[in-house]
Amino acid sequence: EIDLKDGSINKAELKEYPEEIGSESNKLMFDACGRNEYSQLSGFVFGDNVKQNFLVFKIEDINRSSIENSYTFVRESSSLKESKIIYFNPENYFIKVKHIVRNLSSEVIDSSFYSKIERNSLKPPGIDGAFFGDPANFAYLGPVFSTESDNYQKVGLSELEEADFKENSIKGWTAFLEHYFLTAIIPDQQNINVFVGKKNKTNERFSVGVVGRPVKIQPSQEASFTYSLYFGPKVQSELSKANQDLPLAVDYGFLYWIGQPMFLAMQFFFDMVGNWGWAIVLVTLLIKIILWPLSYVSYKSMGKMRQIQPQLKDIQERLSGDRQAMSQAMMKLYKDEKVNPALGCLPMLLQMPFFLAFYWVLIETVELRYAPFLIWITDLSSRDPLFILPILNIGAMWAMQMLQPQPAGIDPIQARIFKFMPLIFGVMFAFFPAGLVLYWLINSLVSAIQMLLHSPKSA
């Protein structure tokens, strides 16, 4: 929806993305009069000697083709004629905008172009009341700048409260990010532009954008500028069509070197099986295969630990009154039997980076939004509505606990806490996204099977 008063984009929706499951309303990217007061503006800034008594824009031309559609809007003042041409392909999420201004006066006109995104700081609908553990609670909401000095720089809303952002760069883009979606301005990459971000004190809106270099327009001459605008989901293949660095907006955090390969593997398996849930299962199995050599050493050590449990118990009973002697005897036993008790923690330590990386993949991967799995799960990025996966997860973790040798020298209180750990983790997982619980469930089941296979028959 174009505001003919100033040519701003006041409303845009994504037809393929509903606002909520089962909703007939589509995801709104721009909505100037809605909750987030979200809009995109562009045009020229003129010198003080220019009378800007513009009339409203009117549609001058509409051109539709199988490749690209275009709309031409024109308005005039006593000294200027401004044209705004919007090119778009219905198959893409980005548009190209070209502004042309013609000097109708007899004087030289100073001008520079601008393009900006404006919105308030409210979270999108459906996020304010999100459950604990929902990725939406941790998704970044705010501006990002990509310039020659830093190709991905977050500038939080709180930072813009304190001071404006301003940086010159030939290449780059700026965007406003939210959970799973973004809007980005990509100016011409041949000239120096000024990337800016600030808070407007009059309407409490934040704005990010770009301002072009000053241009003098001679009488009867014209100036023009072109920029691209992306508004849509954080789909890496779509983002790369707009700009090679725009996929950086899919931010997997400091574990991106794990998160990105995990996503690519999930995408590969999804293309094979057609379901993101089964893709998660297959990626989990792939990770277990990759980590198998290290896990094997750990499970072998745990098997030996189970074999020497009677000897450890005998040492604890005989030397219960002398903790130093008991510790020395246990260390000698470990050395004689070539057992390293610390290796028992290795499987958990190996899995934690992958667990955290997968959580960030869930936060950023829009493909998992409202992705179904099995019969009862309609959204892998949200919690299990029937808590079936968390309950199964408790069982899997309990099985792992039964197969793990109890740490030597543990006191009764610690032992009781240790027994309740599956239940504690199960309650915590009940509020995490179903996709994450599915990942941990498969990981726990496979780990339990591996431990069972390496458990000595005498245990």
Q: Are residues 287 and 181 in the same domain?
A: no
pLDDT computed for residue 412 by the predictor: 66
Bridge partner residues of 178 (DSSP):
181
Q: Are 83 and 72 in contact (CB under 8 A)?
A: yes
**Of 251, 268, 288, which closes a domain?**
251
Specify which residues 106 forms β-bridges with: none
Helix axes 292-307, 309-318, angle to 10 degrees: 50
What pLDDT band is residue 339 in, cutting at 50, 70 and 90?
A: confident
Residues 104 and 18 in one domain: yes
Q: Are residues 247 and 279 in the same domain?
A: no
Minimal CA–CA distance to 170: which of 151, 153, 184? 151
Asked whether residue 286 falls in the same domain as residue 384, the answer is yes
- 152 within a domain of the structure (yes/no): yes
Instruction: Kindly state whether residue 1 falls inside one of the protein's structural domains.
Output: no
Provide the domain limits for residue 28: 11-251
Of the pLDDT bands very low, low, confident and very high (cuts 50, 70, 90), residue 458 is very low
Q: Is residue 2 part of a domain?
A: no
Quote the CA–CA distance of 45 and 229 in Å, as a whole number.
19
If one counts the domains in the chain, the total is 2
> Looking at the structure, do residues 192 and 323 belong to the same domain, yes or no?
no
Q: Which residue has the higher pLDDT, 136 or 355?
A: 355
Chosen domain end from 202, 227, 251: 251
pLDDT confidence bin for 30, thresholds 50/70/90: confident
Query: Measured between alpha carbons, how far is 310 from 47 in angstroms, rounded to an integer?
Result: 89
pLDDT value at position 342? Answer: 63
Tell me the per-residue pLDDT of 368-402, one tens digit each, with 9 for 90 and over: 999 999 999 999 988 899 999 999 999 998 888 88
Distance CA 241, CA 68 (A): 15
342 and 196 share a domain?
no
Looking at the structure, do residues 237 and 279 belong to the same domain, yes or no? Answer: no
Dig out the tokens for 178 from the structure.
């939210």
Q: Are residues 160 and 221 in the same domain?
A: yes
Mean pLDDT score of the chain, rounded to an integer?
Answer: 85
State the CATH number of the domain containing residue 97: 2.70.98.90
In sequence order, the 6+-apart residues with CB closer than 8 A to the CB of 283 are 262, 265, 266, 269, 439
Establish if 236 belongs to a structural domain. Answer: yes
The phi and psi torsions of 28 (rounded to 5 degrees) equal -90, 125
Joined together, the tokens standing for residue 86 give 């919007």
Are 208 and 169 within one domain?
yes
Residues 56 and 33 occupy one common structural domain = yes
- Does the residue 349 lie in any domain? yes
Supply the pLDDT for residue 422. 84
DSSP 8-state code for residue 377: B
Looking at the domain assignment, is residue 3 inside a domain? no
Domain boundary among 201, 220, 251: 251
Angle, alpha carbons 134-130-13 (nearest 5°): 100
**Per the domain annotation, does 242 fall within a domain?**
yes
Quick check: is 229 in a domain? Answer: yes
Sheet with 69-76: list strands edge to edge.
58-63, 69-76, 80-88, 94-103, 222-233, 181-187, 173-178, 142-146, 153-154
Same domain, 240 and 308: no
Verify that 270 and 201 share a domain, yes or no. no
Is the pLDDT confidence value at 125 over 70?
A: no
Cβ count within 10 A of residue 139: 21
Tokens of 140: 């970044």
Q: Judge if pTM exceeds 0.85.
A: no
**pLDDT computed for residue 86 by the predictor:** 93
